Chain A
């Protein structure tokens, strides 16, 4: 693989405006009340009046060792050589949901096709929108507070380090760095 690409989610800047979610849904033409490729997670800790809330915008982790790829009996999911992004070939998917069972991050969702049938749907880094290598995914471009970043994983690690962030933990080695308020 040439070089792994991934995300850096700067939670210290996220205001939970959902612009990333909306941009993703709109650009990819995903109908309401179906699937979400990107979701803003909210974590609330403490009790009143010392309550802390933090928001983390997450999608597919494009893992270094993705279990979804290994588990798919159809070989419908693959990891790209050029950037390490994990993509699904919907023409091969039978909707058997093995990937959803295997994924430790509960990422794969299933969407109905117009001609019938149900297939897996997840973030593809906007490759299906013909995103060029030097372009950003729509969620990153849309984020009004610049909380989302995309690029070579080494660059994401450097950005995260500046904010005291770290790579998300997991046996599959997620290609996502996150920074939270101290």
Chain B
């Protein structure tokens, strides 16, 4: 049902949507505030307005590659359906079109009309980005046949991970442009935000495991697969050590005086951990078949 294409799509769409949303929110706040701290953060998060759409477009390629008949994918835009995937497809398309169009209009000669058009496109892209980072977690949590993911904590975890990997992308962007003074000054504030996001992600992951261990057999089996089963290596090394522990240690080190290289290594770890998290959750989940009351693999 799911495979590497889906894991990569979830990772890239989350990271791109999170990076754009962070950049867009800061950009909107800056239209009403001239707080110098916010301006420094904005110098870094502005990168999300370009990198976000590019990353989501790449993610959409993985999503299309997963389809059995991708040449028919456009039909989703002409078919009335209540499926969350329809909403997600529209959100991805709207996000890509509006965010890229906003960039193009923003590059034109500034007039009253172009400013209004850019603001409208920017607003639409921001709303669509919210849908992009939210719908996939909600979608995966709607199926009773997949007990481990049929949990309202899953969307929270996916959103937290999307925002933290998005911030990691922005930190890497800021590191590349570290010679610009305003960018380098904003990186520490971004690192603080990332630590908060990582904290939320850890809390959501811990809650998901705790709830799963205390619930039905299939969900508990999936949680045990992560903790001490087939996916334990990926979970403890990829998700916990590389994705959470290392970045927290590295980002705290940076805030205590370590150089920017420490910070960018931490951001790289967050990115790798975000990908590992999606692989681990999908690999550990099983589908429950009511025919013979057995669990069948969700992966493959």
Return 27 A-B CB contacts under 8 Å, by A number.
A70-B83, A71-B84, A73-B76, A73-B79, A73-B81, A73-B85, A73-B86, A73-B88, A75-B80, A92-B72, A94-B73, A94-B75, A94-B76, A96-B68, A97-B1, A98-B83, A101-B146, A101-B287, A102-B143, A104-B289, A104-B290, A105-B289, A105-B290, A106-B287, A106-B289, A106-B296, A117-B70
The winner among A73, A101, A118, A169 for most chain B CB atoms within 10 A is A73
Residue in A closest to B70 when the chains form the complex, CB atoms: A94
Report chain B residues within 8 Å CB of A94. Answer: 67-70, 72-73, 75-76
User: In the bound complex, how far is the Cα of B10 from the Cα of A106, in angstroms?
Assistant: 24
What sequence of 0s and 1s flags, for each residue 90-121 of chain A, a beta carbon within 8 Å of any chain B beta carbon? 01111111101111111000100100111100
Q: Known contacts A94-B75, A94-B76, A96-B85; decide if A101 and B69 are in contact (CB<8 Å).
A: no
User: In the bound complex, how far is the Cα of B81 from the Cα of A67, in angstroms?
Assistant: 13
The yes or no answer to A72 lying at the interface (CB within 8 A) is yes
The yes or no answer to B71 lying at the interface (CB within 8 A) is yes
Report chain A residues within 8 Å CB of B262. Answer: none
Report chain B residues within 8 Å CB of A93. Answer: 68-69, 72
The yes or no answer to A43 lying at the interface (CB within 8 A) is yes
* Structural contact, A170 and B71, CB atoms closer than 8 A: no
B residues sitting closer than 8 Å to A (CB atoms) are 1-2, 66-73, 75-76, 79-86, 88-89, 143-146, 287-292, 296, 298
Residue in B closest to A103 when the chains form the complex, CB atoms: B145
A residues sitting closer than 8 Å to B (CB atoms) are 41, 43, 58, 67, 70-75, 91-98, 100-106, 110, 113, 116-119, 169-171
* Structural contact, B145 and A104, CB atoms closer than 8 A: yes
* Structural contact, A43 and B292, CB atoms closer than 8 A: yes
Report chain B residues within 8 Å CB of A92. Answer: 72, 75, 79
Q: Which of A58, A98, A103, A117 contacts B69 (CB 8 A)?
A: A117
User: In the bound complex, how far is the Cα of B289 from the Cα of A102, in angstroms?
Assistant: 11
* Structural contact, A105 and B291, CB atoms closer than 8 A: yes
Report chain A residues within 8 Å CB of B296. Answer: 106
CB distance from B28 to the nearest CB of A (A): 31
Q: Known contacts A97-B1, A102-B143; decide if A70 and B69 are in contact (CB<8 Å).
A: no
Report chain A residues within 8 Å CB of B89. Answer: 73
* Structural contact, A75 and B81, CB atoms closer than 8 A: yes
Report chain B residues within 8 Å CB of A75. Answer: 79-81
Task: Across the A-B interface, give the 4 residue pairs with the lowest CB-CB distance, nearest first.
Answer: A95-B68, A118-B68, A117-B69, A73-B85
Q: Which of B67, B82, B144, B287 contacts A96 (CB 8 A)?
A: B67
Residue in B closest to A100 when the chains form the complex, CB atoms: B1
Residue in B closest to A93 when the chains form the complex, CB atoms: B69
User: In the bound complex, how far is the Cα of B71 from the Cα of A113, in angstroms?
Assistant: 13
* Structural contact, B69 and A118, CB atoms closer than 8 A: yes
CB distance from A46 to the nearest CB of B (A): 17
* Structural contact, A71 and B69, CB atoms closer than 8 A: no
Report chain B residues within 8 Å CB of A103. Answer: 145
Q: Which of B68, B75, B144 contacts A119 (CB 8 A)?
A: B68
The winner among A70, A74, A110 for most chain B CB atoms within 10 A is A74
Q: Known contacts A74-B75, A96-B85; decide if A104 and B1 are in contact (CB<8 Å).
A: no
